[in-house]
């Protein structure tokens, strides 16, 4: 296969290699970078891959071929994927498992993409004379993972934008405790306002000429490529054991995690159905049901990390599947209310002796709504995106006891915090950039 090139989802015809697309983050026309082709893997290609890092190196290699990352992709994956992402059977039920993605430094799945992106950026920026400013909008988990991954790395500065009062206390601590090359901006608005603020910077000619900016949201290619890998590794493990492709239920807000699953299947990994679980922000399921894309302002829910009313990656998804019927054949989506989330947390604590974060609970609720025959026909994998200890104020009153805090998270909670209040207008940010 020839080197994979990347192009904007909009009008800019410029073709870039992976390193160039990762460094830019967002295309000059405001579009998102998409691969012009996908490799086609058979399961036998991964026969010698025992770890996530090994699977990742093999899967990502063709995507970065022809870029400065090609020769170091194995080391990048070894550095980034140094924590477990186990597939755990649910209560000895062989028909459903949980993919636990919360064993990284900040106890959320975002650690996977953030650590890979940081390892890539450090190599891309090794010889740059001007520091790269990485901007990240977060509804809770992304900013903490990016801050942890980039903290202390040379020639890179990170600005995190989060909605004031709309993240949990422990999430906020993970956004604001770093200092050094990390700044946290407390935005008067919703997540969508934070995301629009980041996009406005990239669309401002004067700022782009004065500074070197990139992104670390799932708008960045460097976040999506590694997130494909845990779907690949989990699906291969199940396929080897059972001889059939599993189906996934993915909690999603900005659609990055879901899109990564779509990309993994597109690259030939043994993945059957992809079902999305959202909260009361219903832009995605409403679109798939009604056919009209109508982004809207986000509303606050118990599952705050997926409180997104205008998911950026819908642009990528619609670019990949321009025909609505084709898109509907690829994914389905279901919305879950706060009452249903709360009931699911209580229900599963009783029946499985498991404690879910609110986002994982959305996926379990959707699983429970599947037809009995549909549950029996597939091996279903529930994607657990965060540790419940990050949402203790929601979870603990429901289950009537404290949730143990992972050691890595406990260390972060001991650090002092600092954040900078700003409005959701670009003008308020100009003062910080000069």
* Domain extent for 257: 76-108+222-405
The H or E element containing residue 79 is helix 73-80
- For residue 87, the cross-strand partners are 99
Contact 277, 363 (CB under 8 A): yes
Is residue 319, in this structure, part of any structural domain at all? yes
> pLDDT 10s per residue in the chain (434 long)?
578 999 999 999 999 999 999 988 889 898 999 999 999 999 999 999 999 999 999 999 999 999 999 999 999 999 999 999 999 999 876 789 999 999 999 999 999 999 999 999 988 887 777 888 999 998 777 888 999 999 998 888 999 999 999 888 888 999 999 989 999 999 999 988 998 999 899 888 899 889 988 888 788 999 999 999 999 999 999 999 999 999 999 999 999 999 999 999 999 999 999 999 999 999 999 999 987 899 998 899 999 889 999 999 999 999 999 899 999 999 999 999 999 999 999 999 999 999 999 999 999 999 999 998 888 888 999 999 999 999 999 999 999 999 999 998 899 889 999 999 999 999 999 889 86
Instruction: Write down the pLDDT at residue 131.
Output: 85
Q: Which of 159, 158, 161, 157 is nearest to 139 (CA)?
A: 161
Q: Which two tokens stand for residue 80?
A: 């980034």
Distance, C-alpha 11 to centroid of its chain: 26
Helices (H), 218-255: 221-242
Is residue 393, in this structure, part of any structural domain at all? yes
299: left (phi over 0), alpha (psi -120 to 50) or beta: beta
Total domains, the chain: 1
179: left (phi over 0), alpha (psi -120 to 50) or beta: left
Q: Which two tokens stand for residue 387?
A: 């540790």
What letter would DSSP give residue 71? G
> Rounded distance, CA 400 to CA 392, Å?
11
pTM, two decimals, is 0.91
Is residue 328, in this structure, part of any structural domain at all? yes
Q: Which two tokens stand for residue 149?
A: 């991954």
pLDDT digits (tens, 9 = 90+) for 109-141: 999 999 999 999 988 887 777 888 999 998 777
Contact 4, 62 (CB under 8 A): yes
Angle at 63 between CA 57 and CA 61, to 5 degrees: 25
**The domain spanning residue 370 has which CATH number?**
3.40.50.1100
Q: Which of 50, 77, 9, 45 is nearest to 237 (CA)?
A: 50
> Rounded distance, CA 121 to CA 68, Å?
11
> Rounded distance, CA 112 to CA 204, Å?
30
Q: What are phi and psi of 335, to 5 degrees?
A: -95, 145
CB atoms closer than 10 angstroms to residue 56: 27
Is residue 46, in this structure, part of any structural domain at all? no
Instruction: Write down the pLDDT at residue 1.
Output: 59
Q: Give the side-chain half-sphere CA count within 13 A for 415.
A: 18
Contact 348, 377 (CB under 8 A): no
* 3 state DSSP class of 149: helix
Contacts of 246 (CB under 8 A, 6+ apart): 97, 234, 235, 238, 239, 270, 271, 272, 378, 379, 380, 381
> Rounded distance, CA 309 to CA 320, Å?
21
Is residue 382, in this structure, part of any structural domain at all? yes
pLDDT digits (tens, 9 = 90+) for 152-187: 988 889 999 999 998 888 889 999 999 899 999 999
* 3 state DSSP class of 94: strand
Contact 137, 194 (CB under 8 A): yes
CB burial class (10 A; 0-12, 13-18, 19+) of residue 272? middle
Distance, C-alpha 239 to centroid of its chain: 24
> Rounded distance, CA 260 to CA 232, Å?
10
> Rounded distance, CA 335 to CA 53, Å?
33
Contact 49, 55 (CB under 8 A): yes
The H or E element containing residue 259 is helix 256-266
> Rounded distance, CA 429 to CA 177, Å?
21
Q: What are phi and psi of 181, to 5 degrees?
A: -90, 15
Q: How far apart are the first and last CA of the chain?
A: 45
Contact 134, 146 (CB under 8 A): yes
> Rounded distance, CA 378 to CA 207, Å?
51
Is residue 411, in this structure, part of any structural domain at all? no
> Rounded distance, CA 253 to CA 131, Å?
31
Instruction: Write down the pLDDT at residue 129.
Output: 76
Contact 274, 331 (CB under 8 A): yes
Is residue 57, in this structure, part of any structural domain at all? no
Is residue 4, in this structure, part of any structural domain at all? no
Would strands 132-137 and 420-423 be described as parallel, antiparallel, or unpaired?
unpaired
């Amino acid at each position: 296969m020839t080197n994979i090139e990347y192009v904007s989802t909009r009008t800019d015809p410029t073709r870039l290699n992976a390193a160039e697309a990762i460094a830019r983050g967002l295309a000059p026309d405001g579009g998102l970078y998409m691969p012009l082709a996908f490799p086609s893997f058979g399961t036998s290609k991964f026969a010698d891959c025992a770890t996530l890092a090994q699977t990742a190196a093999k899967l990502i290699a063709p995507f970065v071929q022809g870029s400065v990352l090609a020769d170091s992709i194995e080391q990048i994956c070894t550095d980034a994927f140094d924590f477990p992402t186990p597939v755990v059977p649910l209560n000895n039920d062989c028909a459903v498992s949980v993919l636990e993605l919360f064993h990284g430094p900040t106890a959320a799945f975002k650690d996977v993409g953030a650590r890979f992106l940081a390892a890539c950026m450090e190599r891309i920026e090794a010889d740059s004379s001007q520091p790269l400013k990485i901007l990240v909008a977060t509804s809770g988990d992304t900013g903490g993972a990016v801050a942890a991954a980039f903290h202390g790395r040379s020639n890179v500065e990170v600005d995190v934008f989060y909605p004031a009062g709309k993240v949990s206390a422990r999430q906020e601590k993970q956004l604001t405790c770093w200092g050094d090359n990390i700044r946290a901006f407390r935005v008067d608005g919703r997540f969508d306002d934070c995301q629009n603020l980041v996009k406005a910077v990239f669309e401002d000619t004067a700022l782009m000429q004065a500074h070197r900016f990139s992104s670390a949201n799932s708008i960045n290619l460097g976040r999506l490529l590694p997130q494909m890998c845990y779907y690949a590794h989990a699906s291969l493990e199940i396929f080897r054991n059972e001889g059939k492709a599993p189906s996934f239920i993915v909690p999603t807000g900005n659609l990055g995690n879901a899109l990564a699953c779509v990309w993994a299947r597109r690259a030939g990994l043994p993945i059957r159905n992809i079902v999305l679980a959202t909260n009361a922000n219903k832009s995605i399921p409403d679109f798939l049901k009604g056919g009209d894309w109508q982004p809207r302002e986000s509303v606050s829910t118990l599952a705050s990390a997926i409180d997104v009313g205008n998911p950026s990656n819908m642009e990528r998804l619609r670019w990949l599947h321009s025909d609505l019927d084709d898109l509907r054949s690829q994914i389905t989506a279901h919305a879950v209310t706060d009452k249903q989330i709360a009931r699911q947390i209580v229900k599963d604590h009783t029946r499985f002796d498991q404690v879910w974060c609110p986002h994982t609970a959305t996926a379990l609720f959707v699983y429970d709504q599947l037809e009995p025959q549909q549950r029996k026909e597939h091996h279903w994998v529930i994607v657990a995106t965060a540790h419940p200890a990050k949402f203790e104020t929601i979870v603990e009153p429901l289950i009537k006891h404290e949730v143990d805090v992972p050691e890595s998270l406990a260390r972060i909670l001991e650090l002092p915090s600092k954040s900078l209040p700003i409005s959701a207008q670009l003008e308020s940010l100009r003062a910080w950039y000069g």
